[in-house]
Amino acid sequence: MSNCLTVTNAVEYAFCPRFTYFQLVLGIEQREGKRGTVQSGRAFHSRHSSTNKNYKIKRFEGIKQTELLLYSKKYAFSGKIDEAIEADDQILIIERKYSDYIFIGSTIKTQLGLLAILLEENTGKKVNQAVVVFDKKERVEVPVKITEKMKQKALLLLQQTSRVIETNRMPYSKHDNRCTNCCYRKICP
Ligand code: SF4
């Protein structure tokens, strides 16, 4: 796999392949900083990973790890694990979403699959579970099983992200609800 992509790049491809084209081929910067939800989400992530170091998941004992920046030599990509609990033989990922939309879709699965690959390669421990914490008006914890299939699909999306950059071609994508909040909607044909 060429180029050092990030987990975020693949998650954005999972959101919309054309997003990747505008950002990584044409080099048009995201104007997401101006969107309130993204700013709030970032503040939320950083607040929790730095101040809530004692937060644990029931029935999973281990040492809390935060803000781990990891690189995969095998697949040439990097990513950051905001929170995880490390036990003797396995690791559980905690992922927070500033949202009341309780749904484990392709973007979250891609993120968890790639973060699991990073952790497994760098620690030698199995990563087969995560807890996604949705927290805006209400707080809901959703346990997610990280399967081999999820990891393979995430790697495929990482590879497809790389292919968009290599071919310089605008990928097909249909317009739908995602476009409403997309920063490229005004230039997307
Ligand atoms: S406007 Fe819609 S189709 Fe175009 S990049 Fe954004 S999400 Fe994708």
Domain ranges of the chain: 5-181
Task: Please compute the mean of the pLDDT values over residues 134-158 and round it to a whole number.
Answer: 95
- For residue range 55-94, what is the model confidence (pLDDT) as tens digits? 667 778 899 999 999 999 999 999 999 999 999 999 999 9
- pLDDT value at position 32? 59
Just give the CATH number of 5-181: 3.90.320.10
- Is the pTM here over 0.85, yes or no? yes
Percentage of the chain modeled with pLDDT above 90: 73
Contact partners, residue 36, CB within 8 Å, separation at least 6: none
| pLDDT-derived band at 155, boundaries 50, 70, 90 | very high
Pocket-forming residues, ligand 1, beta carbon under 6 Å: 16, 18-19, 173, 175, 178-179, 182, 184-185, 188
95 Cβ contact list (under 8 Å, min separation 6): 82, 83, 108, 111, 112, 115, 130, 131, 132, 133
100: CA distance to ligand 1 center in Å? 22
> Bridge partners of 77?
5, 72
How confident is residue 26, by pLDDT bands cut at 50, 70 and 90?
A: very high
Assign 184 a pLDDT band (cuts: 50, 70, 90): very high
Ligand 1: nearest atom to the Cα of 22: 5
